[in-house]
Every structure is written in structure tokens, then in C-alpha cells.
């Protein structure tokens, strides 16, 4: 019997087959500096190495390829569409271009200009609308209804979560005795997919979610036991903004099943983590990619003697945002 969320190990292995050659098997590197700082073995999963700059390419490629397998190229002739806080839109634009499918990406006015430009460069049509991801989704619904386009959701679909879950398979192959995986939490596709893969192979590995201090839609929904709306706010971790959809069908149940603990991090903590990763690891990461380290530092999570993986989920960050982070830290 399928789980309510529909994400099975078989679906994740199918995703790996489908995206092979289209997506980078990202490096898992040992951080000497962080390991010494936390008296643990700290590993960094570099999804920043993806051609789109973030993990989202896995799920987008998997879903578009799966739809082509099912319905043929003509089945997507009207094109694909989505709403995004930036990274999913960029990933979908790249995946669609590679697979020969037209794409329209709907973005709220909160999405930073550098992310908008990156999407347009890949040849997708961009529509700016509203002040939240939910408002952008209203335009997506219109495109689906009036132009016959196919929705590729940013997170709430088993095919999307399974694509992100291929990260978990790689983690278990490269570091099979991990004690904890720390993942940014927004819509839940990344954490849910990774958690489903890791728990299927090593159930004792803890899956830790990290959200923003404000606007944590998934966490608020888990507490309420149903999808709820939250006000979106500007943040260094802007990729973690947005709602989970009031009709959420997949990721709320999936995250509730696989996540063991959860932290909400402040803006100064995100800023310090971004600067630390840049200074000590020589890696440029967006705020959402730094929240794992932010949580470890802000909450002094006890990881002594453990093997811990942090998911560095993306690198879509402007120099202006890095400068904001530096100013917040005084460094």
C-alpha cells in the first residue's frame, strides 16, 4: 500500500535513472574547520555545483522527463509553468530548455532581481505578479486554465520530492554511517525527499529541519495539523519563503513522517553562517543554504562525536546580499 504522500524508495530510484546525465552527482566534502569547531565530522553536500546553481534541478528534470515518458513530447506542447521563489524557476527553465519544452515562470515581486535575470537568460518567459508565492500561483492557475500549460510544482508532488530524494541516495552511498542530516525547510520537497531516501536505508539517521524565524509555513502547518498561510517576509534566506499551499497533497505528510527535529534561525545567525562558509570554505552560498550551520551555531546543537551532513542547497546570491550579511555580522 502506497504511503499517503506517495513518495516511495522505488520512486526515488526511478528518479535517479531518469535524471542521470542531466544532473550532477554533487560532491560531499569533509570540512576541517567546521569539524574542529563542533568536535564532530561535518560534511558539506555541495548542491551549489548543479548547472542551475541549486538542488531544484533534480526535481524539475525528473518531473518533466516523467511526463514526457507518459504522454510524449506533444503532451507538453503548450508548455510548462510554475511559481517560484527563484531557484525552482531557474531549474525548471533549464530542464525545460534541455528537454525541448516551452516554460513560463511566475514570480512574486519579492524574488531578487539576480534570480529573475538568471531565469530569463535560460530562455523562459517570466511573469512578475503579487507580493507572495501564493499570489504568483494564482497566475499559474490562469495559465493552466486558459493556455493549457502543465504545472510543474516547486515541491508538492511525489515526482518533485523523489527527484530531490536522489540527494539522500548519494549521501548514503558516500557516507553510509551518517548520524544526522541538516536540511533547510520551506515547502518540504528537499527535506522530505532526502528524509525518505535516508530513512529507507538507515532509519536511525536523524533528519533535522531548519526554517526562518518568521514566515515558516511548513512548521506552522505541522503545528496546526493542516496547511496554514503565513505572511512572507524579506530574508537573507529568501529561498525558504513562501507557503506550502492550502491544498497541500504530498509534502506536509512527508515532512511530518521523516523529520525528527526542527529549528528556526534568526537573520544574524544566517548572516554569520554565510560569512563563515565564505571565509573558511571559500564557498559562496545563499542564505537558505547556510541555515544548517546557522542552527548548529545559534542553538548549540550537540553533535559532538557525530557524523553530520549539511545540505548546501544553492548559490543564487548577489554580492549585494553578501554585503548585507557582512554588515549584519560586523565583519
**Residues with catalytic function:** 56, 313
Integer Cα distance of 23 and 57 in angstroms: 7
Nearest-CA neighbor of 171 among 318, 326, 307? 307
Q: Are 207 and 191 in contact (CB under 8 A)?
A: yes
Residue whose entry in the numeric block shows the C-alpha cell 525552482: 88
Tell me the C-alpha to C-alpha distance, in Å, between residue 270 and each of 160, 215, 324.
26, 15, 11
Integer Cα distance of 184 and 55 in angstroms: 12
Buried b (16+ CB within 10 A) or exposed e, 9-26: bebbbbbbebbeebbeeb
Integer Cα distance of 195 and 168 in angstroms: 7
Integer Cα distance of 177 and 195 in angstroms: 15
Query: What are the CB-based long-range contacts (under 8 Å, 24+) for 22-30?
Result: 22/57, 22/61, 22/65, 22/95, 22/98, 23/50, 23/51, 23/57, 23/58, 23/61, 23/166, 24/49, 24/50, 24/51, 25/170, 26/50, 26/167, 26/170, 28/170, 28/171, 28/174, 28/175, 28/309
Amino acid at each position: 500500500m502506497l504511503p499517503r504522500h506517495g513518495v516511495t524508495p522505488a520512486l526515488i530510484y526511478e528518479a535517479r535513472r531518469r535524471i542521470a546525465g542531466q544532473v550532477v552527482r554533487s560532491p560531499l566534502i569533509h570540512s576541517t574547520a567546521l569539524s574542529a569547531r563542533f568536535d564532530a565530522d561535518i560534511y558539506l553536500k555541495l548542491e551549489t555545483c548543479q548547472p542551475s546553481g541549486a538542488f531544484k534541478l533534480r526535481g524539475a528534470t525528473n518531473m518533466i522527463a516523467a511526463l514526457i515518458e507518459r504522454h510524449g513530447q506533444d503532451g507538453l506542447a503548450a508548455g510548462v509553468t510554475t511559481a517560484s521563489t527563484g531557484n525552482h524557476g531557474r531549474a525548471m527553465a533549464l530542464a525545460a530548455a534541455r528537454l525541448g519544452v516551452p516554460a513560463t515562470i511566475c514570480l512574486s515581486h519579492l524574488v531578487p532581481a539576480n534570480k529573475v535575470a538568471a531565469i530569463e537568460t535560460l530562455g523562459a518567459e517570466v511573469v512578475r505578479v503579487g507580493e507572495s508565492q501564493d499570489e504568483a500561483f494564482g497566475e499559474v492557475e490562469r495559465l493552466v486554465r486558459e493556455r493549457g500549460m502543465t504545472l510543474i510544482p516547486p515541491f508538492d508532488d511525489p515526482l518533485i520530492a523523489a527527484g530531490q530524494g536522489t540527494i539522500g541516495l548519494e549521501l548514503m552511498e558516500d557516507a553510509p554511517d551518517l548520524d544526522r542530516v541538516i536540511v533547510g525547510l520551506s515547502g518540504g520537497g528537499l527535506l522530505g525527499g532526502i528524509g525518505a531516501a535516508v530513512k529507507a536505508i538507515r532509519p536511525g539517521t536523524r533528519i533535522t529541519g531548519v526554517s526562518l524565524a518568521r514566515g515558516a509555513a511548513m512548521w506552522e502547518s505541522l503545528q496546526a495539523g493542516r496547511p496554514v498561510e503565513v505572511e512572507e517576509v524579506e530574508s537573507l534566506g529568501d529561498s525558504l519563503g513562501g507557503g506550502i499551499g492550502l491544498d497541500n497533497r504530498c509534502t506536509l505528510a512527508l515532512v511530518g513522517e521523516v523529520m525528527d527535529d526542527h529549528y528556526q534561525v534568526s537573520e544574524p545567525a544566517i548572516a554569520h553562517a554565510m560569512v563563515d562558509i565564505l571565509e573558511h570554505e571559500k564557498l559562496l552560498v545563499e542564505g537558505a543554504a547556510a541555515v544548517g550551520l546557522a542552527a548548529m551555531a545559534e542553538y548549540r546543537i550537540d553533535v559532538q562525536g557525530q557524523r553530520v551532513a549539511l545540505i548546501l542547497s544553492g548559490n543564487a546570491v548577489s554580492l549585494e546580499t553578501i554585503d548585507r550579511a557582512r554588515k549584519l555580522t560586523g565583519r
